[in-house]
Amino acid sequence: MLNNPETTFLLIITLAGCGFLAWGYKRAKVYGKLGILAWLQSAILMLPWLIFFALYALKISINLSIMLFILIASAGIYIWLGTKLRAAGQDLILKEKAAQKLKEEAEQIAIKVIPNPEILPISDEDLKKIKGIFGIDTFFATETISYQEGAIFRGNLRGESDQVYGKLSAKLKERLGEKYRLFLVESPEEKPVVIVLPSSNDPQPTTLAQKNLAIVLLVATIVTSMEAGSLLLGFDFFSELGRFKEVLPFSLGIWTILASHEIGHHFMAKRHNIRLSWPFLIPNWQMGTFGTITRFESLIPNRTVLFDIAFAGPAAGGIVSFIFLFLGLILSDSSSVFQVPTNFLQGSLLVGTLAKLILGTELQSQVINLHPLTIIGWLGLVITALNLLPAGQLDGGRIMQAVYGRKIARRTTIISLVILTLIGFFNFTNSLPFYWAIIVLFLQRELERPSLNELTEPDDKRAFLALFAFLLMLAIIIPFSPSLASKFGMGFMDYHSPI
C-alpha cells in the first residue's frame, strides 16, 4: 500500500498534521489556560480532516453522514471554545489593568521624539494635536518615529483594540478633521503601534485609462468564453463564427456565474459603505476566464469587513455554480449534448461524489452523457476555487489575511505560488496552474493594505466559514485516486483534475 505515491503523500500529510498539533501544544502550554484553549480550537478543526485523510490513505471508507456529523459537531465545539477563550481573555485583561493602575503613579516614561524632529513630515502643530489624542486609558505613546508622509507611535495598548481604535480615531477627527487617517496595527515585533498618515494616501478612484482597460478585458473575455464553449462542443469558434448561437448558452452560463460573484462583492461592499473599482476580467482560452481582479477604493475599517467582502464573492459565485452543477446532473440523460468518458468525473472529489449520489449506477459505464449545465457548473466551481487560493489579493488571500493576519497570509502566498508552479511543471496535460501562478505572481501577489484597525480579529463564525471555504476549495481541485474511483464505480482510468 505504501508503494502508492498518493497513499504515501496522504500519510505524510496526516503525520505532518499530527506533528503540527503536538508542536502547537508544546508552544501553547507556556501561555497557560489561554494558550491551551487556543490550541484546542485549532485541534478541533484539524482533527476531522486528519481522520478523513488517514482513512482515505488506508483505503477505509467512511459514511458521508457520519463525516458530516463530525464536521458540524467540530464547528459547534469550536464556537463554544471561542466563547470560553474570550471570557478567559477578559479576565486576564482586567487583571492586567488592575496591575497597571497600581504602577501608574510610579511610572516615569518620557515620550521620546526622534533626534531630528525637523525631518518629521507632519508639522509641529499637527504633531502636537495628534499626540494629544493618546492617554493612559487608550494608548500610552512612548516613542514617535517618522514613517512615509506620517508617523509611527509606539507604546502600550490600554484596552480592547476595537474600543481603543474607536476613541483614538474619533479624537483625531475632532482635532484635525479628515486630514489624517489613523491605523492601529501590529509591528514586526508583534507589538501594537499606531500609524498616522495623511488622507492623501487613501486609495484612489479608477482612472479613465483603467476603465478603458476594463472594457477591453470585458470584450476579450466575451470572445474567450465563446471560444471555450466551442472547443467543448468540438469545433473552433473563430473558424465557424456562424455557429455562435450554439456556444451562446454556454457563454451566458459562465457570465451568470461571474456576475453573481461580482454582485456578491459589491452588495457586501455597499453594506459596509466601501467603494470597489470596476472589475478587471482575466480572459482564458480553456475555461473562458480566470475570474476578475477588483481593487478597494476605500480604506477597510477592520478585518471583519475585509472578510465579509472577500468571502461574499466566492460564496455567491460558488452557490450559483453548485446549483448549475446539481441541475445539470439531474437533467443529464442519453440525449444530453456532452458525451464524455466516465473517468472525466474523477477530476474532482466534490463533483465526483455529487455525481455518484445523483447518477448512481450510470457511472459504471465507460461513457456518460452530461447536460451542458454540468460542465458550466463545474467550470464555475473551478474558477471559484482558483480565486479561493490563499495568495496575495485573491479572495482566498484576503480571507486568510482577515482571519489569520498578515504574517500567515504572507506565508500561504509563497506556499500557494510554489505549489501552483510545481503542479504546472509536472502536469504536462494541463497548463492552467502555471498560467494562474504567473498571473498571481505579477498582478496579485501583494497583500491587501492593512485595515484601519488591524488588531481586532473576526469572530469564530467567520473563522469557521473561512476554513470551510478553503476545505471546499481543496474538495473541488483534488481528483479521485484511481482505486477510490474504481470503488465508487467511476471507470477504471485516472483523470487529472481541471487544474
Note the pLDDT tens digit of each residue in 43-53: 776 677 677 66
Q: Output b/e per residue, 234-258; b: 16+ Cβ within 10 A.
A: eeebeeeeeeeebbeebbebbbbbb
Asked whether residue 307 carries a pLDDT value surpassing 90, the answer given is yes
- Confidence (pLDDT) at 117: 42
Neighbours of 165 (CB within 10 A): 26
- Confidence (pLDDT) at 303: 92
Better-scored residue on pLDDT, 393 or 82: 393
Asked whether residue 321 carries a pLDDT value surpassing 80, the answer given is yes
Residues linked to residue 143 through DSSP beta bridges, in sequence order: 112, 154
Residues linked to residue 193 through DSSP beta bridges, in sequence order: 154, 185
Percent of the chain with pLDDT over 90: 14
Asked whether residue 311 carries a pLDDT value surpassing 90, the answer given is yes
Better-scored residue on pLDDT, 207 or 94: 207
Could you give the residue ranges of the DSSP H alpha helices within 152-207?
A: 161-176
Percent of the chain with pLDDT over 70: 76
Most confidently modeled range among 109-113, 182-186, 485-489: 182-186
Q: Output b/e per residue, 421-456; b: 16+ Cβ within 10 A.
A: bebbeeeeebebbbbbbebbeeebbebbebbbbbbb
SS3 145: strand
- Confidence (pLDDT) at 108: 40
Nearest to 161 by CA among 345, 322, 327, 301: 301
Tens digit of each residue's pLDDT (9 = 90 or more) over 217-236: 888 888 888 888 888 777 77
CA–CA distance, 364 with 406 (Å, rounded to integer): 47
Answer yes or no: are the C-beta atoms of 213 and 280 closer than 8 Å: yes
Most confidently modeled range among 33-37, 43-47, 255-259, 458-462: 255-259
The mean pLDDT of 384-403, rounded to a whole number, is 90
Answer yes or no: are the C-beta atoms of 192 and 149 closer than 8 Å: no
Query: Taking the chain, what is the end-to-end CA distance rounded to the nearest angstrom?
Result: 26
As a CATH number, domain 117-201 is 3.30.1360
The mean pLDDT of 87-94, rounded to a whole number, is 53
The mean pLDDT of 295-309, rounded to a whole number, is 92
Angle at 241 between CA 240 and CA 246, to 5 degrees: 90
Residue 299, Cα to own-chain centre: how many angstroms?
19
Asked whether residue 309 carries a pLDDT value surpassing 90, the answer given is yes
Angle formed by the axes of helices 208-233 and 244-271, nearest 10°: 140
Answer yes or no: are the C-beta atoms of 308 and 268 closer than 8 Å: yes
Reported as a pLDDT band with limits 50, 70 and 90, residue 424 is: low
- Confidence (pLDDT) at 455: 87
- Confidence (pLDDT) at 114: 41
Answer yes or no: are the C-beta atoms of 141 and 131 closer than 8 Å: yes
- Confidence (pLDDT) at 111: 39
Reported as a pLDDT band with limits 50, 70 and 90, residue 439 is: confident
Better-scored residue on pLDDT, 41 or 292: 292
Place of cell 459504471: 364
Return mean pLDDT, the chain. Answer: 78
CA–CA distance, 18 with 36 (Å, rounded to integer): 16
Nearest to 494 by CA among 431, 427, 443, 432: 427
- Confidence (pLDDT) at 13: 66
Q: What is the pTM of this model?
A: 0.72
Reported as a pLDDT band with limits 50, 70 and 90, residue 62 is: low
Tens digit of each residue's pLDDT (9 = 90 or more) over 330-367: 988 877 777 777 777 777 888 888 888 888 777 777 78
Asked whether residue 387 carries a pLDDT value surpassing 60, the answer given is yes
Tens digit of each residue's pLDDT (9 = 90 or more) over 117-174: 445 577 888 888 888 888 888 888 888 888 878 888 988 888 888 888 888 889 988 8
Angle at 237 between CA 233 and CA 239, to 5 degrees: 120
- Confidence (pLDDT) at 427: 57
